Each structure stands twice: as structure tokens, then as C-alpha cells.
Amino acid sequence: MSGAGSVVRVVVPATSANLGPGFDALGLALQWHDVVEAEVSSGGLEVSVSGAGADDVPRDERHLVVRAMRATFDAIGESPPGLTVRCLNSVPHGRGLGSSAAAIVAGVLGARSLAGGGLDDDAALALAARLEGHPDNVAPCLLGGLTISWMSNGVARAVGLDVHPDVRPVVCVPESRLATEAARGLLPDAVPHSDAARTAGRAALLVEALTRRPDLLLDATEDALHQPYRAAAMPATMALLQDLRARGLPAVLSGAGPSVLVLTTGEQEVAVPDTWQVRRVPVERRGATTSRAGDTPVTAKLRNAGPA
């Protein structure tokens, strides 16, 4: 365990999961970052938070970064005498942009660095996915770029892919929030076989579109598996999504919503109502990075995570 005063800095990206038809499997890392600094102290817990969500999150053991750090220390077999954690949040909360995954990944990587290792990359992914409940956001947060994630015998696995340089994501963020649990609760237990088959084909096409054929993105982002069922909970979001698609823009829900992700190419313009925040956010190709004060950041080495 690193001694008191040794500061670890973790930079974690926002993520957008599902990407339309890739429900619970596909995810994309975005250059929109939270920063967490952590150090071992002589005793107790001190948590400070600034930026997005600062008025809503606890400053004690319930804080998600701290919970992830404790779980990681437990997995490694370490127990620091005390912790000081500083969070500078930029990624908005409750908007479908992976803020909880970012907090979990920051906690896992921060604790691993403070402990001096003891948790390999595959185990870090598995632990982060277990804490999040699914791997589709934590995988791109760790790996960067486009990821395909899945569960194998109860363990999260993922592969990372490079996104075509012409793909230029634009995020449209509303003022309203929506809890992921609430959005997931709207999904039916069963869907028509034709919808499942159509969406599976579109998900396969989406991998090709994002990596090699961006001209296919509009067709590739069609979804019948989850977005239609969530419409009632976010009518303004679905109206915007349908309007953008009618204008030929490959728009999808970002995660469970209510933000909209538009996978533009070139300099396509995304016009939305004034109540929405529009942000052009390049793909984050490195994923999460960790460093100590004065050191060069280290990228999480998880490009093909999981056992063979």
C-alpha cells in the first residue's frame, strides 16, 4: 500500500451504451471526463466533490467512488488506514452518459494503483461490471473506443475496436434526468421474434458501420428492442430522436436516455430546441488513465479483456 501523501489521479471518460440496436452489448467512450484524485491518509475518510452532481451525492462511505475503492481493496486484500478522495465531475448525472460507470472505474483503478497492483486487467473489468450490474458502460470507460461486452459464466468480458476517424459523435443533453433503473423497468419480458431478429442484424451492421463504413450508420442504428418501449418515459427525447432520424441523422438514445447521441460524419449539423445542450464530443480512444503526481498517465490495458 502506498504511503500517506502519495496522490493517484484517475481520468475517466463519459460513455454511451447500446448505440441503438446494440442493447447491453455495445458502448462508446467519449472525450468528456471526470477526474478523481485519491490518497491514503493516516485515518478516517474525507470526500470532496465539485462539478456535476455535487449537490446530490454523499460525502461518506456511500459515495460510489469510495464503494468501488473499498470493493477493490477487499479483492486485493488491502485495508488502508484512511482515505482522502477528491472528485471533479464534468459528466452529467442521470442523463445516460455513464456517470456511474465512470465513478466505479475511477474507484477500481484508483484503489489498484494505491495498492501497487494486485488486480489484473481482466479482474478489474469483472469487478467494475459486477459493481455496475452490467459491462456495457464500464467496458468502454476502461478500454476506450468502441467496445463489445458480454458475460461468460458470470464473468464480464469485452473486446475493444477502433472507430472510423470520420465518426464524430454529438451529444444532445436535456435538462431532465431519468434513472437507469426506471428506464429499464419499462422493458417487456418478451419481444416479437421479428423485432429481435431485425435488431440483431442491425447490431452486427453497426459494428461494420462504426469501424469501416460510416455511410451505413443511419440503417445500422435502427432499433426495435428497447427504444420504442422507453418512449413514454421521455416523450421530448423520442420526438427529438425521430426528428433527427427523419432528417437523415443516425440518432439513438444514449444508454437508457434521456440524452440523444448522434453519430455524425464530417461536419453534419445537429439543430435541436434551445432547451437542449448540444456538445460535439470526439471519441475517446485511450479509455481511463491513471497517474501519480508528476508522472505520465497510464492507459488501462484492456483492449482484449477476458480469458481466451
Burial class (CB in 10 A: 0-12, 13-18, 19+), 208: middle
Please tell me the distance from the alpha carbon of residue 282 to that of residue 298, in angstroms, as a whole number. Answer: 20
Q: Return the pLDDT at 299.
A: 59
Is residue 89 one of the residues assigned to a domain?
yes
Mark whether 27 and 131 lie in a shared domain: yes
Please tell me the distance from the alpha carbon of residue 302 to that of residue 177, in angstroms, as a whole number. Answer: 31
Could you tell me if residue 24 is left (phi over 0), alpha (psi between -120 and 50 degrees) or otherwise beta? left
Q: What percent of the chain has pLDDT over 90?
A: 86
Lowest model confidence (mean pLDDT) among 1-15, 90-104, 236-250:
1-15
Is residue 252 one of the residues assigned to a domain?
yes
Mark whether 157 and 236 lie in a shared domain: no
Q: Return the pLDDT at 247.
A: 96
Mark whether 118 and 26 lie in a shared domain: yes
Q: Return the pLDDT at 294.
A: 61
DSSP string, the chain: -PPTT--EEEEEEEEEE-TTT-TTTEEEEEEEEEEEEEEEESSEEEEEEEETTTTTS-SSTTSHHHHHHHHHHHHHT---SEEEEEEEE-SPTTSSS-HHHHHHHHHHHHHHHHTT--S-HHHHHHHHHHHHSSSTTHHHHHH-SEEEEEEETTEEEEEEEPPPTTEEEEEEE-S----HHHHHTTS-S---HHHHHHHHHHHHHHHHHHHT-GGGHHHHT---SSTGGGGGG-HHHHHHHHHHHHTT--EEESTTSSSEEEEEETT------TTSEEEE--B-SS--EEEETTSPPEE---TEES--
pLDDT-based confidence at 108, cuts 50/70/90? very high
Please tell me the distance from the alpha carbon of residue 123 to that of residue 266, in angstroms, as a whole number. Answer: 38
Is residue 136 one of the residues assigned to a domain?
yes
Mark whether 150 and 52 lie in a shared domain: yes
pLDDT of residue 270 exceeding 70, the answer is yes
Mark whether 150 and 176 lie in a shared domain: no
Is residue 305 one of the residues assigned to a domain?
no
**Residue of 27, 28, 21, 25 whose CA lies nearest to 226:** 21
Mark whether 175 and 54 lie in a shared domain: no
Host domain of residue 182: 167-280
Please tell me the distance from the alpha carbon of residue 29 to that of residue 305, in angstroms, as a whole number. Answer: 16
pLDDT-based confidence at 178, cuts 50/70/90? confident
Mark whether 97 and 188 lie in a shared domain: no
Q: Return the pLDDT at 293.
A: 72
Mark whether 157 and 13 lie in a shared domain: yes
- For 187-237, the pLDDT digits (tens) are 899 999 999 999 999 999 999 999 999 999 999 999 999 999 998 899 999
Please tell me the distance from the alpha carbon of residue 133 to that of residue 255, in angstroms, as a whole number. Answer: 14
pLDDT of residue 130 exceeding 60, the answer is yes
Burial class (CB in 10 A: 0-12, 13-18, 19+), 90: middle
465513478: which residue's cell? 103
pLDDT-based confidence at 2, cuts 50/70/90? low
Is residue 220 one of the residues assigned to a domain?
yes
pLDDT of residue 302 exceeding 60, the answer is no
Q: Return the pLDDT at 303.
A: 37
Q: Which of 133, 161, 189 is the last residue of a domain?
A: 161
Is residue 219 one of the residues assigned to a domain?
yes
Q: Which of 129, 161, 193 is the last residue of a domain?
A: 161
Number of structural domains the chain divides into: 2
Is residue 87 one of the residues assigned to a domain?
yes
Mark whether 245 and 127 lie in a shared domain: no
Is residue 249 one of the residues assigned to a domain?
yes
CATH number reported for the structural domain that contains residue 251 in this entry: 3.30.70.890
Please tell me the distance from the alpha carbon of residue 52 to that of residue 277, in angstroms, as a whole number. Answer: 14
Mark whether 155 and 175 lie in a shared domain: no
Lowest model confidence (mean pLDDT) among 2-16, 75-89, 174-188:
174-188
Mark whether 34 and 150 lie in a shared domain: yes
Q: Which of 161, 184, 208 is the last residue of a domain?
A: 161
Mark whether 89 and 175 lie in a shared domain: no
Query: Does the predicted TM-score (pTM) go above 0.85?
Result: yes
pLDDT of residue 306 exceeding 80, the answer is no
- For 22-62, the pLDDT digits (tens) are 999 999 999 999 999 999 999 999 999 999 999 999 999 99
Please tell me the distance from the alpha carbon of residue 122 to that of residue 140, in angstroms, as a whole number. Answer: 14
CATH number reported for the structural domain that contains residue 83 in this entry: 3.30.230.10
